[in-house]
């Protein structure tokens, strides 16, 4: 029967109507979900917003105020001059006296004196009391106690000194109670205590010290879920009492204020008033720190320069002074929006500067409302237009909307210090536009069948059925942890394989890879993968291995030992012998199940993996067998290994140089010949680094003539010759740039 022509237009019109209706229905559902997520703001969205605000802070840091803030740093120089930490309290008392004589507004200590000074004469006498003559014991008891000397310094200070303490819920804490004075707070509004961070334990100062200080305050910092410190708490609920922070007490005493006014309502804390400053806070009594730059933006002064008299105390006049430490091993390192390596004491300095400059960052109450209005408006326009005008025109419109909101967000931060997030509106616009465009494409072009066919080409029917029946999702990703990565490779494998048949090559690789794999597994390593003749392995995952660096180095030495045995057997069989190169690096990497949702492996990724691979390849350049990074050697400097420095290189694609070491053997295997060679090589390398290229060239040529490592010595002799003819620039640091991977 012929088709009725009159039915065609109606059918087409109906199909078009259904297509647009379906696309708009999908768009409406997605828009409602996105709007709900905006109002809910789950942790991933909060993290996205935080990263956007971090970008703004890096772009527009807060200026340093006119009121100076200084950090007295117990640095490596100070420890070298005055002994290891902790110092005698008498030394700390002298340091506080010097600073106080400069008449700063306030002095805050990012340090806790929780236990008696072990260097006090009375404490030392207890250690040998049973063997000490009575007269000597009586005399020692008359010597001044170091804790008492520090207490006298606190008592006699002409500037207010605020001691620090730490609240915790994880440790037992000290047995001392903090000096909490409820009268210093005036509460206006609802009780703020239920909204504050709550702690039950404390590490605080000795009573003899706490009783002589002007005040004390906590220096806890509370990172966000991603480990970045963005906020500074000013109040904490300690056993149902209000406790002030270190910087809050510094501000109060520095401005001569008797009280801190806590303003709160039914939703929590709204602000704190101290002196002439009203500090806006969130409901938990903390505020966003407007950082002024990366670490060491605030002025640092070495404690040694003060104790030795190199710096006058007058530099502290009318300043706020924080005392902390940056010495390696003592440094309280944090991550902030402006720097991943940030001293904890400087966080307090930037928080103090935020208050003193009134550079507060605030998310206005109307920000979320403006975001919801934007989402509703953009969703309505896109739902109406995308199915009608197509992807190109609606895409341009989406870009205009997004760009306008981004400019508004940046302008608000730069000029008004307002935190108005543009990331989620931008993400929402992109998701909604993509969903509508995709839905429109599926409906109008009727590609559903083709898409299902395309998917069936990538997935086997068995796997598709298994995925459908198993509702548990395959998870990807993993965790970051310190690991040791090893790469090994056969030298000149291509030319070797050309001389073998495929069967011979397969047999040869099996004979080589099997014992090498056994060595790795015997030493607690995980074999990641085989890449042709190359082996990749790692340590400290999936099982923890605190000695992972040493295990990897023992493995490398054992691999060479096993290879010597294999070469001996192959030589007797008149088969080719081989040499291998090994690269080892210790660093942070991400390990876990990685790949696609359809196929993944337990593997490790990151820059640390790339560096280990580069080190393996560098063996060809230097004629070495095992190369390790400086980070690996540093972990093993006290272990039973012999390393020698090979070079300082900057690998392709990296800006920071890497010091490369050769792992030679265990200390017990060192002989007199090797000792002499290492000494001669070190002298030659030192001459090279000191730009005495003629002397270095002579030494390297002598080494080349008498020792086995011809390529390394020849390489340095050639470099020295080139530098003699064309010297490197004055700022040359002995770094060699690699132009090839």
Residue-wise pLDDT for 692-715, tens only, equals 999 988 999 988 888 767 889 999
One domain for residues 595 and 554: yes
* DSSP code for 184: G
d(CA 64, CA 319): 13
Do 678 and 632 belong together in one domain? no
Closest CA to 277 of 267, 290, 263: 263
- Cα distance between residue 360 and residue 277, in whole Å: 11
pLDDT at residue 123, rounded to an integer:
63
On whether both 500 and 548 belong to a single domain, the answer is yes
* Contact status, residue 52 vs residue 422, Cβ threshold 8 Å: yes
- Residue 464 makes CB contacts below 8 A (sequence gap 6+) with 456
Report which of 272, 260, 281, 269 is spatially closest to residue 194, judged by C-alpha positions: 269
Among 428, 447, 466, give the residue marking a domain's end.
Answer: 447
Residues 586 and 513 in one domain: yes
Q: Is 461 part of a structural domain of the chain?
A: no
574 shares its domain with 433:
no
Characterize the bridge pairing of strands 201-203 and 161-168: antiparallel
Residue 103 is predicted with a pLDDT of 95
Confirm whether 52 is domain-assigned. Answer: yes
Indicate if 675 and 663 belong to the same structural domain: no
Which helix (H) or strand (E) element contains residue 437? helix 423-445
Query: CA 49, CA 52: separation in Å to the nearest integer?
Result: 5
Q: Is 187:237 a contact under the CB 8 Å cutoff?
A: no
Q: What is the distance between the alpha carbons of residues 153 and 171, in angstroms, rounded to a whole number?
A: 30
Closest C-alpha to 351, from 410, 406, 293, 288: 288
* Nearest CA-CA partner of 418 in 48, 57, 45, 51: 57
Q: Which residues span the domain enclosing 552?
A: 479-667
Residue 529 Rama label (left phi>0; alpha psi -120 to 50; beta): beta
List, in order, residues 6 or more apart from 473 with CB less than 8 Å away.
597
Tokens of 242: 């209000």
Reduced to 3 states (helix: H, G, I; strand: E, B; else coil), residue 287 is strand
Q: Do both 79 and 196 map to the same domain?
A: yes
Give the β-pairing of 580-595 and 526-531. Answer: unpaired
**Which of 398, 430, 447 finishes a domain?**
447
- Residue 474 forms part of a structural domain: no
Report the pLDDT value the prediction gives residue 331, as an integer from 0 to 100.
63
Both 645 and 696 in a single domain? no
Over its C-alpha atoms, the chain yields an Rg (Å, rounded) of 34
Same domain, yes or no: 173 and 273: yes
Structural domain count, the chain: 4
Whose tokens are 């990897």? That residue is 552
* Cis? peptide before 542, omega within 30° of 0: yes
Please identify which residue in the block is written with the tokens 């998870």.
475
Q: What are the tokens at 641?
A: 């290994």
Distance CA 356, CA 54 (A): 21
User: For the sheet containing 235-238, what is the strand order?
Assistant: 198-199, 235-238, 241-244
Structure tokens at 522: 């015997």
Which residues, given as ranges, of the chain have pLDDT below 70? 1-20, 22-23, 122-143, 171-178, 329, 331, 440-478, 593, 596-602, 653, 667-669, 708, 739-741
C-beta atoms surrounding 331 within 10 Å: 19
Strand order in the sheet with 277-280: 185-188, 260-265, 268-274, 277-280
Q: Give bridge partners of residue 662 from the DSSP assignment.
A: 627, 644
Q: What is the DSSP letter of 361?
A: B
pTM for the whole structure = 0.57
454: in domain = no
| pLDDT of amino acid 194 | 95
Q: What phi and psi, each to the nearest 5 degrees, are found at residue 474?
A: -75, 125
- Token pair 């320069």 is found at 305
Instruction: Please state whether beta strands 320-325 and 69-74 pair in parallel, antiparallel, or not at all (unpaired).
Output: parallel
Task: Report the candidate in 606, 660, 667 with the shortest Cα–Cα distance to residue 632.
Answer: 660
Give dist(CA 741, CA 738) in Å, integer. Answer: 7
Tokens (6 digits) for 653: 């694609």
DSSP-based three-state secondary structure for 168: strand
Asked if residue 712 and residue 641 are part of one domain, the reply reads: no
| Range list of H helices, 357-447 | 366-389, 391-416, 423-445
- The whole-angstrom separation of Cα 478 and Cα 1 is 64
Residue that finishes a domain, picked among 356, 387, 403: 356
- pLDDT at 112 (0 to 100): 93
Cα separation, 65 vs 356, in Å, equals 7
Distance between CA atoms of 98 and 351, rounded to whole angstroms?
A: 25
Helix (H) or strand (E) holding 121, with range, is helix 121-127
Residue 502: CB atoms within 10 A of its CB come to 8
How far apart, in whole angstroms, are the C-alpha atoms of residue 291 and residue 63?
9
Quick check: is 467 in a domain?
Answer: no
Paired with 660 in beta bridges are 629, 647
**402 and 271 in one domain?**
no
As a whole number of angstroms, the distance between CA 707 and CA 691 comes to: 24
- Asked whether residue 463 is domain-assigned, the answer is no
In a domain, 464, yes or no: no
Asked if residue 149 and residue 265 are part of one domain, the reply reads: yes
Q: Is 641 within the bounds of a domain?
A: yes
pLDDT the model gives residue 454: 29
């Amino acid at each position: 029967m012929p088709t009725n022509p009159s039915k065609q237009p109606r059918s087409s019109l109906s199909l078009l109507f259904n297509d647009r209706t379906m696309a708009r229905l999908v768009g409406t559902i997605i828009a409602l979900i996105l709007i709900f997520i905006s109002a809910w703001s789950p942790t991933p969205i909060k993290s996205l917003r935080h990263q956007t605000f971090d970008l703004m802070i890096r772009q527009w840091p807060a200026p340093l105020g006119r009121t100076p803030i200084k950090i007295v740093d117990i640095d490596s120089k100070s420890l070298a001059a005055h002994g290891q930490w902790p110092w005698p309290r008498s030394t700390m008392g002298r340091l506080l006296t010097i600073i106080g004589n400069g008449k700063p507004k306030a002095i805050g200590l990012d340090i806790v004196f929780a236990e008696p000074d072990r260097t006090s004469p009375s404490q030392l006498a207890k250690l040998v009391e049973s063997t000490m003559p009575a007269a000597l014991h009586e005399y020692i008891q008359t010597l001044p106690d170091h804790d008492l000397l520090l207490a006298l310094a606190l008592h006699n200070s002409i500037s207010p000194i605020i001691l620090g303490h730490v609240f915790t819920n994880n440790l037992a804490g000290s047995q001392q109670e903090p000096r909490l004075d409820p009268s210093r707070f005036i509460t206006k509004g609802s009780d703020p205590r239920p909204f504050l961070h709550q702690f039950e334990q404390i590490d605080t100062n000795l009573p003899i010290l706490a009783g002589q200080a002007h005040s004390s305050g906590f220096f806890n910092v509370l990172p966000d879920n991603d480990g970045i410190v963005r906020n500074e708490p000013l109040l904490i609920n300690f056993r149902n009492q209000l406790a002030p922070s270190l910087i809050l007490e510094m501000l109060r005493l520095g401005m001569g204020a008797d009280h801190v006014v806590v303003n709160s309502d039914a939703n929590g804390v709204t602000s704190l008033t101290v002196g002439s400053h009203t500090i806006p806070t969130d409901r938990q009594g903390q505020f966003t720190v407007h950082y002024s730059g990366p670490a060491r933006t605030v002025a640092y002064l070495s404690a040694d320069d003060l104790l030795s008299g190199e710096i006058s105390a007058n530099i502290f006049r009318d300043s706020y002074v924080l005392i902390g430490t940056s010495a390696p091993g003592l440094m309280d390192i944090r991550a902030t929006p402006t720097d991943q390596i940030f001293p904890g004491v400087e966080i307090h300095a930037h928080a103090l500067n935020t208050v003193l400059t009134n550079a507060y960052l605030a998310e206005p109450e109307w920000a979320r409302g403006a975001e919801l209005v934007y989402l509703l408006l953009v969703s309505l326009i896109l739902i109406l237009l995308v199915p009608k005008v197509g992807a190109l025109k609606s895409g341009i419109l989406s870009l205009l909307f997004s760009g306008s909101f981004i400019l508004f967000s940046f302008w608000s931060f730069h000029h008004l210090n307002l935190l108005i997030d543009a990331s989620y509106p931008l993400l929402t616009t992109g998701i909604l536009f993509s969903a509508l465009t995709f839905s429109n494409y599926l409906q109008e072009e009727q590609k559903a069948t083709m898409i299902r066919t395309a998917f069936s080409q990538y997935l086997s029917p068995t796997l598709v059925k298994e995925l459908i029946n198993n509702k548990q999702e395959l998870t990807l990703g993993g965790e970051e942890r310190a690991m040791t990565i090893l790469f090994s490779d056969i030298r000149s494998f291509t030319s070797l394989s050309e001389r073998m048949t495929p069967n011979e090559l397969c047999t040869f690789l099996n004979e080589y890879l099997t014992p090498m794999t056994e060595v790795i597994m015997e030493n607690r390593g995980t074999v990641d993968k085989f890449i042709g003749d190359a082996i990749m392995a790692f340590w400290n995952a999936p099982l923890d291995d605190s000695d992972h660096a040493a295990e990897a180095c023992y493995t490398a030495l054992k691999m060479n030992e096993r290879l010597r045995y294999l070469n001996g057997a192959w030589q007797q069989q008149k088969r080719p012998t081989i040499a291998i190169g090994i690269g080892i690096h210790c660093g942070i990497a991400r390990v876990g199940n990685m790949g696609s949702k359809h196929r993944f492996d337990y593997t490790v990724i990151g820059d640390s993996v790339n560096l280990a691979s580069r080190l393996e390849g560098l063996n060809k350049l230097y004629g070495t067998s095992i190369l390790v990074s400086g980070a690996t050697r540093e972990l093993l400097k006290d272990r039973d290994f012999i390393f020698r420095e090979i070079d300082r290189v900057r690998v392709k694609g990296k800006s920071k140089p890497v010091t490369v070491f050769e792992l030679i053997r265990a200390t017990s295997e060192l002989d007199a010949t090797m000792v002499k060679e290492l000494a001669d090589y070190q002298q030659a390398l030192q001459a090279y680094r000191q730009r005495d290229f003629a002397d270095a060239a002579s030494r390297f040529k002598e080494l080349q003539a008498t020792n086995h490592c011809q390529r390394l010595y020849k390489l340095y002799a050639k470099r020295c010759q080139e530098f003699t003819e064309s010297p490197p620039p004055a700022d040359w640091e002995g770094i060699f740039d690699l132009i090839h991977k």
